Structure 1
Amino acid sequence: MTTAKPAPSQATPRVVNAYRSEHQRDIVNRLRRIEGQVRALVEMVESGRPCEDVAQQMSAARKAMDKAFYRMMACTVLEAVSGSDAEADVERSTRILEKYA
């Protein structure tokens, strides 16, 4: 018999912390992959690869960074839902998205 996870608004601090830890690992892994992509881009430029090939890989790295950003923002939404002042936290998350997205 499996037990369902509590809804975010009912999440215990322990569940939220476990999610945050897993979420942080995911973000760090994504950033490390992006770091590898950027190193490969430098090698491509230094070896004289065609501009279109470099542009394609730059686009992929940029999109990967955008995805990492949005995954990171999901953490602020979780904090907003589980926080005691949810309305203020949602507003804070909205301001971050408006400013950086």
Structure 2
Amino acid sequence: MTDNSPARAACQDHGTTHTTSRYRSEHQRDVVNRLKRIEGQVRALIEMVEAGRPCEDIAQQMSAARKAMDKAFFRMMACSVMESVAVSDDETLREVERSTRILEKYA
């Protein structure tokens, strides 16, 4: 029996193809989009420093960029967790996804 759920559609594990490849693809797209936004934040930080903006303003933006990088990291790791869990039922898969989102949000 083949499980074709979206969450099982993308991750591949050393030659063993899981139905999670679409899931991995979505995560990769999400992580790339987040990194592009962070890239823009870093460019803006450079401009702030070059313009002589107050340290507190720069520190606030640095903090936001750091938090965005952390969220991108947790999002990226979600696919890795999904590969490691090797579950066969959708309910367990949804629970793992929910847990990774909680980590992303609050860690």
5+ residue gaps, structure 1: 84-100
Matched position secondary structure for 1:49: coil
Q: What is the aligned partner in structure 2 of residue 53 from structure 1?
A: 57
Paired residue type of 1:76: S
Q: Give the alignment partner of residue 44 of structure 1, picking from 36, 45, 48.
A: 48
Q: How many pairs were matched up?
A: 78
Q: What is the aligned partner in structure 2 of residue 96 from structure 1?
A: none
d(CA) in 1 for partners of 2:44 and 2:86? 40
**What's the % identity of the aligned pairs?**
72
Give matches, 1:82-93, under 5 Å.
Answer: 82=86
Higher relative contact order (CA 8 A, sep 6+): 1
> Could you say which structure has the higher helix fraction?
1
The CA deviation at 1:81 is 2.0
Give matches, 1:1-101, under 5 Å.
Answer: 5=5, 11=8, 13=17, 15-82=19-86
The CA deviation at 1:82 is 3.0
Paired residue type of 1:67: K
d(CA) in 2 for partners of 1:28 and 1:34? 10
Cα RMSD over matched residues?
2.4
1:2-24 per-position Cα deviation (integer Å, ceiling 9, x unaligned): xx937x6xx46564001101110
1:18-65 per-position Cα deviation (integer Å, ceiling 9, x unaligned): 110111000000000000000000000000111000000000000000
5+ residue gaps, structure 2: 10-16, 88-106
Paired residue type of 2:81: V
d(CA) in 2 for partners of 1:72 and 1:82? 17
TM-score (norm 1): 0.68
TM-score (norm 2): 0.65
Structure 1 runs of 4+ aligned residues shifted over 4 Å read none
